[in-house]
Amino acid sequence: MPYITVSTEKSNEVKISYADYGEGKPVILLHGWPLSHRMWEKQITALTQAGYRVIAPDRRGFGESYKPWNGYDYDTFAKDINILITELNLHDVALIGFSMGGGEIARYIGTYGSERISKIVLMSAVTPYLLKSDDNPDGVDKSVFDNMLSGLMADRPAFLHQFTKNFVNWDTDGKEILSQESIQHAWDIAVWASPKAATDCVTAFSSTDFRADLAKFDVPTLVMHGDADQIVPFEVSGQRTHEAIEGSELVVIAGGAHGITYTQPEKVNFALLEFLNK
């Protein structure tokens, strides 16, 4: 995979890796926590076959990208994406972000605008603001994220094993849809992430307020979310994101877990291509 230098740390270059497949209008896929571009396997195939150029970076600290000690905040993530888009000289880009990748898109638009962007998809996204606070009473209690951090610090592999099950609602209908090997595959991706990146990103996606960023969206936007999401509940995120972005479209995947790219890829791909082909 090719690399692009995005910053330095202690005089050493920090580089992010990216997959680049197909020809046509560019689509950038931004993965969720704590995965890599490999979570998009079925979407990459569908999009390239439909005539799109698919660019799927690994976020700093994850996948095959460099794993510095610092830089796991949304201002830095947005800057990294801006460098990728600029270095590859991309225009008319469709940005698709899953979970914390949706937050990257929000901060990118809020900071750099939409001059190079044609469409946006926010899928199972952490927007508009997850953390419960005085001015966000419908958010998620801080104790949930504190428990995530405690689990990661105590036994990261074991925590990620349970997280990948929750990611696909394994204990309800997930095990009827997916194989045990697919769960193992997701764990293999997740455990490869930098431990520092994994913990810092929990703080980043739980405490970053994207409401002002969403107010700057001015291109066609699709919000896609499963209504049985156990990780980022639809009522807290997808529904509120749709309401916050004027003119946005909403696709609710009935019975959909957080990891709808794993559990219901056909429905996800159909909705993506229908939106992108308009």
Q: Which of 99, 124, 194, 206 is catalytic?
A: 99
Going through 45-131 in order, the beta strands assigned E by DSSP cover: 53-57, 93-98, 117-123
Q: Which of 31, 225, 242, 258 is catalytic?
A: 258
DSSP 8-class letter at 69: S
Whether residue 121 contacts residue 94, with contact meaning beta carbons closer than 8 Å, is answered with: yes
Q: Which of 58, 229, 237, 242 is catalytic?
A: 229
End-to-end CA distance of the chain: 31
Q: How many CA atoms lie within 13 A of 132 on its CB side?
A: 10
Residue type, 74: Y
Whether residue 231 contacts residue 160, with contact meaning beta carbons closer than 8 Å, is answered with: no
258 is annotated as an active-site residue: yes
Residue type, 148: M
DSSP 8-class letter at 256: -
Q: How many residues are there in the chain? A: 278
The encoded tokens of residue 134 equal 């005085």
207 is annotated as an active-site residue: no
31 is annotated as an active-site residue: no
Task: Single out the residue of 188, 202, 261 nearest to residue 39, CA to CA.
Answer: 261
Q: Give the active site residues.
A: 99, 229, 258
